[in-house]
Structure 1
Amino acid sequence: MYLKLKRFAGQLLFAANVFVVFLLFFEDLLVVPVWLQTVGRMHPLLLHFPIVILLIAMLLEFFRFKPENTSNTFYKSFLENMLLAGSLFAAATVVMGMFLSKEEGYGGDTLLWHKWTGAGIFFLASIIYLIRDQSWYKSTLAKMSAVAVVTGLTLTGHYGAELTHGDNFIFEPVLANRKKQSVNPDEALVYNDVIKPILEQKCTSCHNPEKVKGELILSDSESIKRGGKSGKLFASDQTGLFFQRIHLPETDKKHMPPKGKSQLTADELVLLSLWVKQQPDFNQKLTELKETDSLRVLATALLQPASSSDQYNFVAADADVIKGLNNDYRTITPVAVNSPALLVNIYNRSAFSPAQLDELEKVREQIVALNLNKMPVKDEHLKTIGKFVNLRRLDLNFTDITASGLKNLAQLQHLRNISIAGTKVGAKDLESVLPGLKALKSLTVWNTTLSAGDISTLKKKYPGVIFEDGFRDTGENPLKLNPPQIKNESVIFAGVLPLQLKHPIKGVELRYTLDGSEPDSVKSAIFKEGVSLTESAPVKVRAFKQGWHGSDVSTFDFFKSRYKPDSVRLLFPLNRVHQAEGANTFFDHKLGVIGANNPAWANNWGGVRDNDLGLFAQFDSPVSVSNVGLHYMIEEDTGIFPPEVIEIWGGTTPDNMKLLSKFKAGMPAKGDKPVLKTVQTTFKAEKITCMKIVARPLNTIPDWHRNKGKRALLLVDEIFVN
């Protein structure tokens, strides 16, 4: 059995070589269908297997001809199997990588090097496996082969890191730190020395000549001016797409940087916003700005981390103490190499407790910056922070603090920068606090209750303090509003559902419809708190505001499902690829998205061979049912079609059920885009305790399809019973 399996694996390796060569030669003609794109995106997941396995195999190969190893049969067998497995995994990784490279946004020399070094590793590993038992394959050649494979792995990993994280990813922290220390503010250029480093750290990993997401490159000034697929970055009013995208909520799919990537800090966001609002200039010197200009003040502080005011006169904390204080929800790091000053970041609102601040007493003299963004910090917690005698920067954005708590910071003689964006602190509150904050140089107050007039008054009264209020709506040069969003956790409900709509910009009027028509700014209903849904409906919403262009329409499909069975069992086995949560899938209130193999598609259902889709549901108490619906996916290109026929059976016992309804779903036409749909039937109300649902996949795919004559796949993620 072992020999047969090994022989098969060897034949598979030969076939893989032929297939990879074929792909490399005909790559330009390669068109990757949607379902294969998902396979391609598994490339980063799988690539670690061949790396680890081949590294182990090459280490063993390097020492293979040592006397004690040549006579060791286990060593020889284990090495041979590791090399074979590593080669096969490498083949799969190369194929997936080539599929992935066909997606939009990949190109350039780095991709070319990554592709050919990766393919080279696979070919070399295959050759070693095939020739290693030849009489002329000796120790020297084995060592050279091992070194060549390890070198190839290193190069491939290097180019892959550059594709994923941007140019010079490995050495970027060292180079960035060196550059930051060497810039003189009197000679600095605003773009080159302030803005470009931010873009390099947070943006160019996805927007560079090698990886052009959205056809946008942010690595040079000319490409930035040119913009991308969605248009130019800067509008005539000097805001535009760039400004909008960085200010979107992190949960918004268009927010930049995307969720999961390293986000802009409060300072970086302010610097980028000020640069955009002042008219992006790629050649302007920092000293050409007024001395009181917010961009100049903040940039100067950024470029002078080691100015005279930051020559710390305290000793470093014990390294073991710092190590002990670091945990999953609190990080403590030096501001620079060999610096005694510490930066503290606290994460995860749900895990926050006062102890996380109290424990910092051990390093209270060394803390110069503290980030409590979005933590449930209250006024009493600021008493502890008031003991951090050398604190320079404090981020309290979106916390629960008030002016009363800020008074606890008056004794901090070095506190120069405070961020209170998103808090409830008002103008009168600040009037009572600011006189006590003697060292304060900048205060971030965007998204608070302060009006433009309040900000203007404070700026005149405290000319030594920069008030950063972010974007303020002036009504001039109108922008297009972002689409509205929903706050409801689920779009499936059983009885009455309070509709929850939101928009990130204050003062926006949301107008909606429930009948499928397009909402307008005159006739459509205005959304207010208290609007509820009692039946399934497509909710269409647009945002409007004086001085702005109306948003695009947002459509949210809500589904009523009044009854959930107490027990469910399948009548036929599911497709082995699309198991989801078995019978529980169809009543868990989770809807999938386009893409049969997309990880986000949580629940799917497919016919097997000639099986129909079928389940039996039972209710502990009788229910009156008059409507049943199925939510399914259509992707005609990959053979995923609606059900051909659906039957609904019901009764009081499993042996006493009758046909309540039999109906069909509309079929797609050639070239239709993938879509999620619902088909439902209404019938005379019937009291039942047992229900059977049978859906037959399309038995014969139409002649216009490339899979004509075959049985279609049926994917369902939810069933609605009312």
Structure 2
Amino acid sequence: MKIRFSILGAQLLLVLDIFIVFLLLFEGKLHIPAWLQSIGRVHPLLLHFPIVILIMAMLLEFFRFRKDIASNAFYKKLTYYLLLSGTLLAGITVFMGLILSHEEGYAGDTLQWHKWTGVAIFFIASIIYFVRNSSWYRSAFAKAGAVVTVLVIVVSGHFGAAITHGDNFISQPLAVYYPEPQVPFEQAVVFNDVIKPVLVKKCAGCHNPDKLKGELILTDSASIMKGGKSGKLFNHEAPELSLLLQRIHLPENEKKHMPPAGRPQLTDIEAMLLTRWIQSNKIYFSGKVAELPERDSLRMVAATVLQPPGNVAEVYDFDAADEKAVAKLNTDYRTILPLAKESPALAVNLYNGDVYSVKQLQELDGIKKQVVSLDLNKLPVSDADLKSISQFENLRHLYLNFTDITTTGLKELLPLQHLQSLAVSGTKINYKDLIAVLPGFKNLKTIAVWNTPLSGAEIKQLQTANKHIQFIEGFVDDGSDKLKLNPPHVENASMVFAQSSPVLLSHPVKGVEIRYTLDGTEPDNIKSPVFSSAVTVKENTVVKAKAYKTGWFASDVVNFSFLKSTIKPDSLRLLYKLNSVHQAEGANTFFDTRLGVIGANNPAWANNWAGVKHSDMGLVALFNKPVTVSSLGLHYMVEEETGILPPGTVQVWGGADEQHLKLLTTFNKAPLPAKKEKPTIRIMQSSWKPVTVSCLKIIATPHEKDKKLLLVDEMMLN
């Protein structure tokens, strides 16, 4: 049995070797069908198995000739099986990788290095398998082969990670410990020093010469201007409609949202930088930030990420802190790093609001002289904590964005006579207290106040009274460069309910106010109520919603149908054939709680619609036990331009079985759409005196059987 398995394994491996060689020789002539592409996409899933198995096999092979284990039968058998299975899996993985590499978006030197190192792993492991029982194969060969194989596995894995996650995937976390030096404001180039770092950090992992997702490269200006498969990134006539802006402002769960869900997302500042860069209506690739007009919104936002104007290397009059003491103070939620190489100054960053307490600041008492930068952004820092912060006597830079501090608490910071920059964006600071406290900060050069209660007029007054301080306010909302908000979207898993349902609306842009109506009227930002989680519906309801935010154009109105359906048939049968395009789930479509969307004449959107064009729409519903019914509703689509019309009439028949049915109701209340009326989704329903039945027959007749479509996605039976 053992001999048979060895022979079979060797034969399989030999066949796989020949097959891989054949693929490599004729790779340029390969045509990959769709079904084979799916097999290729298993490559990233499968590759981890041969990696682990081969590393284990090579570790065992390395020590194979040691005297104490050379005669161990179990050791020999385990090494053999691991090497054979790992090599076979490596060959299958190489085959899948070669198939995957022919898909759109894979190209460049990194791919070639990954491909050939992967192929090398397979052939090196194959050679070791075939020669390991030769008389000349001794310890030196075993060790050399094992070391080479593992090294090539590491190299191939590195290139694979670079293809999937970008060139800096492994080194990127080290940026926390070795951050790139900030570029001084006066020297910064708009693209190279402000925009490109964002694209490299959040986008270039998938859009680079080695990984051409969507045929788009975002690593150089020429490629950015060229665009990709979906078109150019910029719309010079209507910048707010630029493709790049559309993609980054889509909800994160949308397929086309960028960066994709699961990848690091753009921060608010990064998204604002890209937005202001594109909205400037000039794509700046060579101009400097300082050359932009003083009140230019891009200049103001860029100032928040650049080294403050006039900032030069500073000489400190204190000694460096003890390295061991600093090392002990570093935790998972607090990093303490030198501000620059060989500098005694320290920068402290605190993370994770769930574990924050003022004790984390008080524990730094032993290095308080060396701390010159303190980042507490997005932590629940209160006014009471500012007294502890005031103990850092040499503090130059303090970041309190989106914390709980108020202007009153800032008085506690007046002892910080070296403070040069202060960031209090997203806090509750107010003009009255701020104008009183600012003169006390003698060396303050910049203060970030965007997204605070301060108005533009108040910031101007503060600037006039404190000429030595630059106020960073984000951008001036003069209405000249607004973006249009996306409509709100619904979070309910299903909008069909039995008794009642909460209405769950959301919007991806922070600070958006959602206004809604339940009575069919259009929502506005004056009379319509502001959406909250307390909204509940108990009957068939069309929720109309619209998004508003200062500095943005309001979104379009969006309609969401919430449908009450308390009775579900036990079995369903169609009486007539459905239109070939709109089959959906057949008879089950009408009670599957899945609602369709506008655009049903496009086959990609037709999945949830059942439709007829040349006949009635007929349905028989059976119940295992008699039920009492008193109303029926239809949820249907109207699109005048493409000939999708409401039902002409609807008849509902009921009885004990199909042979004993009586007409329960006939209704035809659905109005026809006006010429060029926008597509809509509607509800029509009728009620009657309660009747107990075991069988229902529902017949919906189109307005015009010969030409027009009737589309229904759900029926509501109560």
State the TM-score, normalizing by the size of structure 1.
0.66
Deviation at 1:631, TM superposition (A): 5.2
* Paired position in structure 1 for 2:233: 232
* Paired position in structure 2 for 1:192: 192
Does the CA-based 8 Å contact 1:537-1:558 persist in structure 2?
yes
Does residue 416 of the first structure (1) align with residue 420 of the second (2)? yes
* Paired position in structure 1 for 2:406: 402
Q: Point out the more displaced range, 354-363 or 416-425.
A: 354-363
- Gap runs ≥5 in structure 2: 569-587, 597-602, 611-618, 636-686, 693-715
Task: Note closer, same or farther for the CA distance 1:208–1:642 as it changes in structure 2 (3 Å cut).
Answer: same
Task: Note closer, same or farther for the CA distance 1:286–1:496 as it changes in structure 2 (3 Å cut).
Answer: closer
* Paired position in structure 2 for 1:76: 76
**One of 472, 484, 487 as aligned partner of 1:468:** 472
Does residue 529 of the first structure (1) align with residue 534 of the second (2)? no
* Paired position in structure 1 for 2:328: 323
* Paired position in structure 2 for 1:133: 133
* Paired position in structure 1 for 2:61: 61
* Paired position in structure 1 for 2:118: 118
Q: Point out the more displaced range, 483-492 or 113-122.
A: 483-492
**One of 260, 282, 285 as aligned partner of 1:282:** 285
What is the CA RMSD across the aligned residues, in angstroms? 5.5
Does the CA-based 8 Å contact 2:326-2:336 persist in structure 1?
no
Q: Point out the more displaced range, 547-556 or 378-387.
A: 547-556
Q: What does residue range 489-500 of structure 1 map to in structure 2 within 5 Å? A: 495-500=500-505
Does residue 301 of the first structure (1) align with residue 304 of the second (2)? no
Q: What does residue range 258-407 of structure 1 map to in structure 2 within 5 Å? A: 258=260, 260-262=262-264, 279-285=282-288, 288=291, 294=300, 301=307, 307-309=312-314, 311=316, 313-320=318-325, 322-327=327-332, 329-407=333-411
Does residue 482 of the first structure (1) align with residue 486 of the second (2)? yes
Distance 1:403 1:313 in 2: 31
Deviation at 1:357, TM superposition (A): 3.6
Distance 1:540 1:28 in 2: 52
Distance 1:191 1:344 in 2: 29
* Paired position in structure 2 for 1:150: 150
Deviation at 1:261, TM superposition (A): 3.9
Count residues with an aligned counterpart.
Answer: 602
Does the CA-based 8 Å contact 1:421-1:447 persist in structure 2?
yes
* Structure of greater Rg: 2
Q: What whole-Å deviation, never above 9, does each CA across 1:432-474 have from its counterpart, x for those lacking one? A: 3322333332222332223333333333333333333334443
* Paired position in structure 2 for 1:622: none
Deviation at 1:315, TM superposition (A): 2.0
Task: Note closer, same or farther for the CA distance 1:528–1:273 as it changes in structure 2 (3 Å cut).
Answer: closer
Kindly provide the amino acid, as one letter, of the partner of residue 405 in structure 2: I
Deviation at 1:222, TM superposition (A): 0.8
Kindly provide the amino acid, as one letter, of the partner of residue 218 in structure 1: L
Does the CA-based 8 Å contact 1:357-1:385 persist in structure 2?
yes
Distance 2:232 2:185 in 1: 33
Distance 1:104 1:536 in 2: 46
Distance 2:91 2:379 in 1: 47
Deviation at 1:539, TM superposition (A): 5.2
* Paired position in structure 1 for 2:52: 52
Distance 2:350 2:494 in 1: 30
Does the CA-based 8 Å contact 2:518-2:541 persist in structure 1?
no
Does residue 504 of the first structure (1) align with residue 524 of the second (2)? no
Q: What does residue range 591-670 of structure 1 map to in structure 2 within 5 Å? A: 629=592
Distance 1:555 1:28 in 2: 49
Deviation at 1:217, TM superposition (A): 1.6
Does the CA-based 8 Å contact 1:64-1:70 persist in structure 2?
yes
| Structure 2 SS opposite 1:370 | strand
Distance 2:267 2:160 in 1: 27
Does the CA-based 8 Å contact 1:58-1:150 persist in structure 2?
yes
Distance 2:415 2:323 in 1: 26
Kindly provide the amino acid, as one letter, of the partner of residue 207 in structure 1: H
State the TM-score, normalizing by the size of structure 2.
0.66
* Paired position in structure 2 for 1:431: 435
Task: Note closer, same or farther for the CA distance 1:303–1:123 as it changes in structure 2 (3 Å cut).
Answer: farther
Q: How many percent identity over aligned positions?
A: 42
Does the CA-based 8 Å contact 1:541-1:554 persist in structure 2?
yes
Deviation at 1:371, TM superposition (A): 3.1
| Structure 1 SS opposite 2:307 | helix
Does the CA-based 8 Å contact 2:382-2:404 persist in structure 1?
yes
Distance 1:641 1:23 in 2: 42
Q: What whole-Å deviation, never above 9, does each CA across 1:113-147 have from its counterpart, x for those lacking one? A: 31232233224323432342244544554444334
